[in-house]
């Protein structure tokens, strides 16, 4: 079944340039309903207020990290099923394990290409 590319997508990163890059790649893949947040607290409020079909979050943010955001999403019955992909420069095994244990759907290591993002999203959402 084809992915609904009209779904709302939330990109969470405290680095504006990274948000622009990810938004551009998502647009190339056909996703145009893309919102963004600069921190985990704002992102969580947005996730609670609006239905998102996908969250792409950076790991390293202040005051709430991407891992803490993921844990908050997974602990909330209303939004816990939201597909969540961690996007980070942190390739440490312990970080990948921590994200998996917290319920992340997939993990993308920066820098990445359009093809890598498409492959990761396909594994989470289905054929793009």
CA-derived radius of gyration, the chain: 13
Whose structure tokens read 């390739």? 91
* Residue in 28, 26, 27, 63 with CA at minimum distance from that of residue 43: 63
What is the pLDDT tens value at each position of the chain, 128 positions in all?
689 999 999 999 999 999 999 999 999 999 999 999 999 999 999 999 999 999 999 999 999 999 999 999 999 999 999 999 999 887 888 998 999 999 999 999 999 999 999 999 999 999 99
Which of 3.40.50.2300, 3.30.70.20, 3.60.20.10, 3.40.47.10 is the CATH number of 9-122?
A: 3.40.50.2300
Question: Does pTM surpass 0.85?
Answer: yes
CA angle 85, 87, 89 (to 5 degrees): 150
Domain boundaries defined on the chain: 9-122
């Amino acid at each position: 079944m084809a992915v609904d590319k009209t779904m709302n997508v939330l990109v969470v990163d405290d680095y504006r340039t990274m948000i622009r890059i990810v938004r551009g790649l998502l647009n190339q893949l056909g996703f145009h309903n893309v919102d963004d947040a600069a921190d985990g607290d704002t992102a969580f409020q947005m996730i609670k207020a609006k239905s998102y079909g996908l969250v792409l979050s950076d790991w390293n943010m202040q005051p709430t990290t991407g891992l803490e955001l993921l844990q908050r999403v997974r602990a909330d019955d209303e939004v816990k099923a939201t597909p969540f992909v961690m996007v980070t420069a942190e390739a440490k095994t312990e970080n990948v394990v921590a994200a998996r244990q917290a319920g992340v759907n997939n993990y993308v290591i920066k820098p990445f290409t359009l093809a890598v993002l498409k492959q990761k999203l396909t594994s989470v959402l289905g054929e793009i």
